[in-house]
Structure 1
Amino acid sequence: MHIQLFTGDAIQPYIRNLAGLRIEIFKEYPYLYDGDFDYEQVYLYSYIHAKHAAVVLAFDGKEVVGASTCIALEESDTFIQFPFIAKGYDISKGVYFEESVLQKKYRNQGIGVRFFEEREKWAANYFKKKNIVEGRFTTFCGINRPDDHPLRPKNYQTLEEFWKHRKYEKQPNLQTQIAWKDIETEQEEFHNLTFWLREWDK
């Protein structure tokens, strides 16, 4: 196993791997995402073209078994930026952690911690390059699903304690909506997601 961070054109050889991983992992609860391979590839190219973005990959030998992404908040999608703008945050001082996906057999082995460490290291370098000293923050969002959702596995455990241990705090006043097609629905529907935030100056 090894973990490596990629930026710019160096991401391109792994686009198909990333698209496949996103479809495979996000099909699981709680996202239940019925993914489209062509859409995924187009979406992932945004990380190649962004000025400030990175992808962290986990390899088992040469096989990509996990991935985690980050991008300057001001280069992220509008529906990610808007909740922060509406609450008075300076989005030029934020880094957005888009996703972490990892195949089941590699979980609970510390790779999730490494994903956070590598992205936070990248964020620290971003803040330094942009000369951002105050008001720095990193953020991500998680879907809101009811505890009695019919597809919730019996032994399902949320990642909230893990996120808290990484110094992230849930922000009920920061929410967004993202549309995708669930595996049990016929068409796209909007889903509510809540942001988690780490303020670096605390």
Structure 2
Amino acid sequence: MISTRVLTGDSVAAVLDDLARLRIAVFRDWPYLYDGDPDYERDYLRAYQTPGAVVVAAFDGARMIGAATGAPMEHHAGDFAAAFANRPEALEDIFYCAESVLLPEYRGKGLGHAFFDGREAQGRALGRRYSAFCSVQRPPDHPLRPTNYRPLDDFWRKRGYEPLSGAVAEFDWKDIDAPVSTRKPLQFWMKRL
């Protein structure tokens, strides 16, 4: 039986280890190619125990099979201030839909919608005017790009999101085929709540 739960505050702590494992497993695949580290994950995910943050978790029985996180954008101001420097929207008006991870065998069952529904509801409850997320950008000729890869752009557009011209963040992480971390561009998408 697949179910979802919206977690905030102290209830987030109980799923952080499972969420870290899911991030490492799912983000290892295209397009992230992330060579994850459990210690980094635990430290990073503590950000979702802050006021206003949310984890929408999906379970198959007692096993967590996917999750999506979100938080007020100003909690990520250090990371995203440059991407929004030339935008008219204030960070305090935006709810940031961060990662969304789901084991491959559970995709196509509506959980992606449940993840966005839960995060957007949290944004509205906090009085946010916008919901935004970012997606990693890889070159179309990247050697690890699967031949059957289907981008999620159509799904995001159906939910009302559009890419924001010029709103690109940059993050470093180590790819599975690389000896060191390198910088990657992430394109922001946004919609009005």
Which residue of structure 2 aligns with residue 183 of structure 1?
A: 176
Asked if 1:163 corresponds to 2:164, the answer is no
Aligned residues: 192
Give the alignment partner of residue 191 of structure 2, picking from 194, 198, 202. Answer: 198
Q: Which runs of 5+ in 1 are unaligned?
A: none
Which residue of structure 2 aligns with residue 95 of structure 1?
A: 95
Name the CA distance, whole Å, in 2 between partners of 1:18 and 1:81: 26
Contact kept in structure 2, 1:85 and 1:91, CA below 8 Å: no
AA matched with 1:159 = L
More deviation in 177-186 or 72-81? 72-81
Percent of paired sites with the same residue? 38
After TM superposition, list the pairs within 5 Å mapping 1:85-124 onto structure 2: 85-124=85-124
SS in 1 for 2:84: helix
After superposing on structure 2, the runs of 4+ consecutive aligned residues of structure 1 that deviate more than 4 Å are none
Name the CA distance, whole Å, in 2 between partners of 1:85 and 1:92: 13
More deviation in 69-78 or 106-115? 69-78
Name the CA distance, whole Å, in 2 between partners of 1:188 and 1:148: 20
More deviation in 56-65 or 168-177? 168-177
SS in 1 for 2:125: helix
Task: Report the TM-score when normalising by structure 2.
Answer: 0.96
AA matched with 2:184 = H
Q: 1:77 to 1:20 in 2, by over 3 A?
A: farther
Which residue of structure 1 aligns with residue 24 of structure 2?
A: 23
Which residue of structure 2 aligns with residue 74 of structure 1?
A: 74
Name the CA distance, whole Å, in 2 between partners of 1:197 and 1:155: 27
AA matched with 1:101 = V
Name the CA distance, whole Å, in 1 between partners of 2:87 and 2:163: 15
Give CA deviations for 1:88-141 in whole Å, capped at 9, x if unaligned: 3211111000110000100001110111111111111111xxxx6xxx111000
Name the CA distance, whole Å, in 1 between partners of 2:165 and 2:28: 25
Name the CA distance, whole Å, in 1 between partners of 2:186 and 2:85: 16
Q: CA RMSD of the aligned region, Å? A: 1.1
